[in-house]
A and B are shown apart, each in its own frame.
Chain A
Amino acid sequence: MQEFAQQIINGISVGSIYALIAVGYTMVYGVLQLINFAHGDIFMVGAIVSFYAASRRIQPAMPWWLHVVILVAIAAGFIVPVLLGKRWQAALRRVLPFIILYLVLTPTLYLSSVISRSGRLPDSSWAMAGFALLLAIVTCGSMGFVIERLAYRPLRDKPRINSLITAIGISLLLEFGGQHRSVFGPTPQPYPADMVPGIHKHLMLPGIIVSRVDVLIVGVTLFLMAVLTYIVLKTKTGLALRAVSYRFDTAALMGVNIDRIISFTFVLGSCLAAVAGVLYSVKYPSVEPLMGLLPGIKAFVAAVFGGIGNIAGAVAGGLILGLVEVLVVGYLPGGSQYRDGVAFVILIVILLVKPSGLLGKHVVEKV
């Protein structure tokens, strides 16, 4: 019985991470009807950025050629539309977010490098953990924004399969880019999980032992879900988000700025993925560029399981998936070999039995 309780706790903890990633999938699917394959890799970016921050290895500046590439790209993005006959104000408005992002992120990079190298933050402290988490969130948020802007927005009125292929392309780009020597390299590296103070200790409850990692993960997830619920249900942006996901063009007629809402969705989902990435690597302290692949797919399965497009469903799906996975590993003979297969079996069963998922609505195709 005690073992069973331990398994359940472990399952909830794994499931919470899946839930955090799945929410990003489901929100993007809700507004865009697009499976954002790159979402699992944004999770990976979050883990790697926090790894660099916690091990004090952030470079103070990007290589010079990257500055040149970015500046040339921004200049081209402004000049080419003007030459093609667009009004310069419109062209400027399109590149303005990138200019702001560039102007904000360059000093941020320098500042964070100084902070992480100065030694002012102790190796194992909440300040260090918070710093790493914050940096991961900022990086992933801006990355989500840029990806949506550059890769998905131009394809929004094209057949959906094009966006799907682009998403696969971005996912490959992030994975292979991460495997390059100058970014991270292909070999897994140990993650400094003890940046969170006392993470290896356990809580002794009557009957069961709970590791602090699990408490941390479940606590953070609960907090973020509360925040997310507040944003979606109580704020004006959340109302707009729901409107867009309910009906795209009608929302536009009602005065909702669709582009802004979609960007917001991507940024929000990416931030949650960043948190999930940090938590995941604290639990399993090893990072590599391909680490986002399986959690990403499993989180997608969780999103489908709960009914894609439905945030509560994604959370429920993530938890159930985590539990099932842990129980299969724990109780089936040879179950650990099938750990990664479980998610796919669940996916196929749910797609065949109830494609709309646990909480999703049944959609009838009309002519």
Chain B
Amino acid sequence: MSSRKSDTPPPPQASGAAVGAAIAPSRQVLPASSTASLLRSIRLNAAIPIALALLVPISWFVEGERFGAYNQRIVMLIGFNIIMAVSLQLINGFSGQFSLGHAGFMAVGAYLAAYPAMTYSHRLADPAACLLFFVSLAIVFAIAGFVLLGLFLLIRKTRQIHPSVPMSLLIVLIVWVLTDFAKGSSFAPDSRPAIYIWTHAVALLVRMFDWLIQVGTSPAAAISHAMPEVLQKPLSYLVLIIGGGLCAGIVGLVVGMPALRLRGDYLAIATLGMAEIIRIVIQNSQPLGGALGLTGIPKYTDFVWVYGGAIITTIVIWRLAYSAKGRAIMAVREDEIAAAAIGINTTRQKVVAFMVGAFFAGVAGAMYGLHERSITPTTFNMTKSIEVVVMVTLGGLGSVSGAILAAIVLTLLPEILRNIGAEISDYRMIIYSALLILMMLVRPQGLLGGRELWPRRVAGKQGSRRGFPVQPVATEDRDDRQ
């Protein structure tokens, strides 16, 4: 702990440590209730609608004839990548939990937005049907979740009787299911008890889902028809992207609760594994198109939506990261034990960061799916996750503006290299990876290294350009190893 450097002014008590220093200024950030700060907050809040409004004239230019379809596509890609990079920055940069599975959340968002868009809301004319899909999904999964949770609690409860009881129960269960499956592949599959229970439980859930949809369809259609026609498309789109994002956030919660107990490299591998599992499950589920993916998704995402999403993502992550809660998240990054010692619920902070990051990744995925018209599971493989990690790392861990900058540069770079000449385009991915290595060797803190491009508002110290230029990511000293 003593080896950690902190550029914030040295705390009076020598061993107050980085955490103390990171936490202490949090009171200053909260605006004092004076007229000046009120004015300031109004000015800040006015900036957001102005920025959003500016998107409209820009979009006329970007979507115009002269700009070209190719350039337009790149601009859109930059937008998606900004959302992805900024949301991963919260997980990797601010909370210091190195996640390698961001593409998995993107896949969840993309598929769970594209599927209802195709199935229930033709040409996005039916917002209530989209909402119905998510509500039914939530109900069904809540029931399944409660059953699983009950089983889990039961096993935990039996542990209090004797430690070997749940163990032997589990082993008996696994052996039973496995032998059943083994026999089931060669005999009539429905006659074996384990298979029977499994298939019928799944079928029950599916039937319940269908029933909910059936019951809700006609009221939903009535509601949709009652809406003015102008509102129908934007509303269904909004429902889809937020629904997709929420699904990804819940997956993030489910994944994060167990995985975030791990640290460092283990967490990286575990998240990578979870993302791969998500991808393999999608690849093997027929309603989601299997390995061929979904095609014929209605296209709605345009410049304003993507960059509006990017701006909102940036603002939310920024406000979260540089708030009192953000200090707690960063304290976990600096030193988990010390953070726990001063009363921060470390697991909670990590899960919050993970969920919010996953939510925005899901939103990006939903937008992506509704832009591309067709998505396949291979789009969201490991390479995609690593690409986002590279953006965050090059931008500088713990810097929102750095992530944006890196997302822009790294999306443009391969395209520029491709345009320079056919000879170089073969080398572009090689250059890309060599850049990553060189960056780590020459400037490991990234382009901005935990600082921000524009001044961060700190009461009493106007225009400080500094974020938290502390060395990100809790690393154990070598002495801790035994």
Contact = CB atoms under 8 A, between A and B. Distances in A.
Interface of A: 33-35, 151, 154-155, 158-162, 164-166, 168-170, 172-173, 176-177, 179-181, 246-249, 293, 297, 300-301, 304, 331-334, 337-338, 340-341, 343-345, 347-348, 351-352, 355, 363, 365-367
10 contacts: A34-B265, A159-B472, A160-B476, A161-B397, A166-B437, A169-B436, A343-B273, A344-B276, A345-B273, A347-B270
Contacts of A181: 426
A258 B45 CA distance: 57
Contact of A338 (B268, B284, B338): B284
A159 B184 CA distance: 51
A172 B280 contact: no
Nearest to A147: B437
A172 B436 contact: yes
Contacts of A176: 429-430, 432-433
B252 to A, nearest CB: 15
Contacts of A172: 386, 429, 432-433, 436
Given A160-B265, A161-B264, A341-B276, 18 more contacts: A35-B268, A160-B476, A162-B444, A165-B390, A165-B440, A166-B441, A169-B437, A173-B437, A247-B481, A248-B481, A293-B382, A304-B266, A331-B181, A331-B185, A338-B284, A348-B274, A351-B266, A355-B262
Please list the 3 inter-chain residue pairs (A to B) with the smallest Cβ-Cβ separation, ordered nearest first. Answer: A344-B273, A172-B433, A169-B436
Given A331-B185, A333-B185, A159 B473 contact: yes
Interface in B261-310: 261-262, 264-266, 268-270, 272-274, 276-277, 280-281, 283-284
Contact of B98 (A151, A161, A343): A161
B321 interface: no
A249 B482 CA distance: 12
Contact of B389 (A33, A166, A168, A331): A168
B20 interface: no
A154 B277 contact: no
Nearest to B392: A165
Contacts of B274: 344, 348
A33 B475 CA distance: 11
Interface in B429-448: 429-430, 432-434, 436-437, 440-441, 444
Given A331-B182, A345-B277, A367-B337, A300 B440 contact: no
Given A155-B440, A158-B444, A340 B432 contact: no
Nearest to B263: A365
B189 interface: yes
Residue among A165, A176, A365 with max Cβ neighbours from chain B (10 Å): A165
B312 interface: no
Contacts of B440: 155, 162, 165-166, 169
Nearest to A346: B273
A249 B473 contact: no
Contact of A341 (B261, B277, B444, B473): B277
A160 B264 contact: yes
A366 B480 contact: yes
B280 A164 contact: no
Contact of A333 (B184, B266, B444, B482): B184
Nearest to B445: A162
Contacts of A173: 430, 433-434, 437
A164 B265 contact: yes
Contacts of A293: 382
Contact of B433 (A35, A161, A169, A334): A169
